Amino acid sequence: MGNTNSSAVQKCLESAVGAKNFASSSTAAYQLAHVKPYNLDIPVNPAAVTYPSTSEQVAAVVKCAVDNNLKVQPRCGGHSYANYGIGGSDNAIVVDLKNFQQFSMDNTTWQATIGGGTLLGDVTKRLHENGKRAMAHGTCPQVGIGGHATIGGLGPSSRMWGSALDHVEEVEVVLANSSVVRASESQNADVFWALKGAGASFGIITEFKVRTQAEPEQSTLYTYTINAGNAAAKANAFKQWQKLISDPDLSRKFATQFIMTELGLIITGTYFGPKSEFDSLDISSRLPQKSESVIVLDDWLGVVGHWAEDTALELVGGIQSNFYAKSAAYTKDDLLSDETVDKLFKYVDEVDKGTPVWFLIWDLEGGKINDYAPDATAYGHRDALFYHQAYAVNLFGRVDDKIRNFLTGLNKIVTDGVGKELGAYAGYVDRALGEQGPSMYWNDNLPKLQRIKKEVDPKEVFSNPQSVKAAA
């Protein structure tokens, strides 16, 4: 267990969760079976991985860490791009929440209670089975609600319903002083505010209470494969897509992504309504020449399952790999000029990327997410109209400078084009941002987060290289 007093830590954790419910570096197959880093490019060696079953056990683990001067990080799905969910830095104690699977639905208020270790695929299924309900969340079924609904949680239905964290009405959370408290707008309101955007820095949520929506009765899923051979044709396709998404009157039922890979371009998404309504938007005529696939589903599980088969997700999904990712948040004032778009697509066409496995996704947000005030929750990008996420995998080992430079160069063309640094999404952790990371993730909400951190976690028990630091 690193440089700590390992026998004291071991004894404490045994007493906290039982000998069978934690693993350390002396455990067989520790890295493979317990640490399980998502991004193989960033190795990390936690002091221990624990598997508590109750909030009291989580609190006891936190106390063990504090008493032995160790950091703590919760893990609910393990999809952190920089492995911050498994400590982020060596010698932390990981609290794996996989045993927190409780679920119930109040059929009067349609408020659901969801265990902090539930994966999004199971959230969808359980909501469906308990009254055909739904909530906004991302498209990857292996992501855990704990990290997702405390960092943002953006997905196709977010334009209609808000982000995942906008559904959260109350939580049970274990704080750094190992107390177990409820937090909502009426109790522990500052903690609740901080958890809705920067959760991993403030506590371990063992239970969520969320508002839910009725499932849409019908959804229209479309995929347009764009026939664009050269950089100029691809740039033209993007210009048309950007013009479409920047229409302030665009229906909130309309979700869309512009995806570029080695194989070409697709524009894909969902309209949450019948095909007749979708057709009346006349989206097709506003986009370039393409081959079209439009399907209508009246089965919500089928709709969400379809998202998980997305081209880009199939490349990554729940598979561990060596990868690097960067993101950027665009407001309605950050639309790319034609000149910048031309430059960007020429760059992507000509640059040596260092790998054939890469993708670029521009993802429309806005709508309901923008209705909340910038400081309504800790989430830092209320004004974002759309994001891009650039992602590159090395199938044969560590990510090299060529791959990094490809993504860094791409972001630089964008920021040079809009004339300023754009924010980054905290769900796509980018270690290369270094100390700048927090201000790019949380923007103007960072000072308040730092003040709350000083009050509830002054010793920075919940810590990773880019977590919120306590105010000086």
Q: DSSP of 60-106, one letter per residue?
A: HHHHHHHHTT--EEEESS---TTSGGGTSSTTPEEEE-TT---EEEE
> pTM of the full predicted structure?
0.95
User: Looking at the domain covering 219-430, what would its CATH class be?
Assistant: alpha beta
Looking at residue 3, what is its pLDDT? 42
Name the residue ranges covered by the structural domains of the chain: 6-96, 103-215, 219-430
> If we measure between CA atoms, which residue out of 95, 96, 113 comes closest to residue 104?
113
**Can you tell me the distance from the alpha carbon of 356 to that of 345, in angstroms, rounded to the nearest whole number?**
16
Separation between Cα atoms, residue 333 and residue 341, nearest integer Å: 15
CB proximity list for 245: less than 8 A, separation 6 or greater: 256, 364, 366, 385, 386
The residue to which tokens 């993007």 are assigned: 238
Half-sphere exposure of 434 (CA within 13 A, CB side): 1
Residue 254: beta bridge partners? 271
- By CB atoms closer than 10 A (0-12, 13-18, 19+), residue 397 is exposed
Q: Which CATH architecture has domain 6-96?
A: 2-Layer Sandwich (3.30)
Query: Phi and psi for 245 in degrees, rounded to 5?
Result: -75, -20
Q: Given 3.40.50.720, 3.40.630.10, 3.40.50.800, 3.30.465.10, which CATH number is that of 103-215? A: 3.30.465.10
Q: How far is residue 113 from each of residues 120, 127, 205, 377, measured CA to CA in Å?
A: 14, 10, 12, 21
**What parts of the chain have a pLDDT lower than 50?**
1-4
What's the confidence (pLDDT) of residue 448? 98
* Nearest Cα residue to 17 out of 64, 63, 66, 50: 50
Residues 438, 56 contacting (CB under 8 angstroms): no
> Which DSSP helix (H) or strand (E) runs through 58?
helix 55-67
Sole residue written with tokens 């750094």: 176
Separation CA 61–CA 93 (nearest Å)? 8
Q: What is residue 318's predicted lDDT score, i.e. its pLDDT?
A: 63
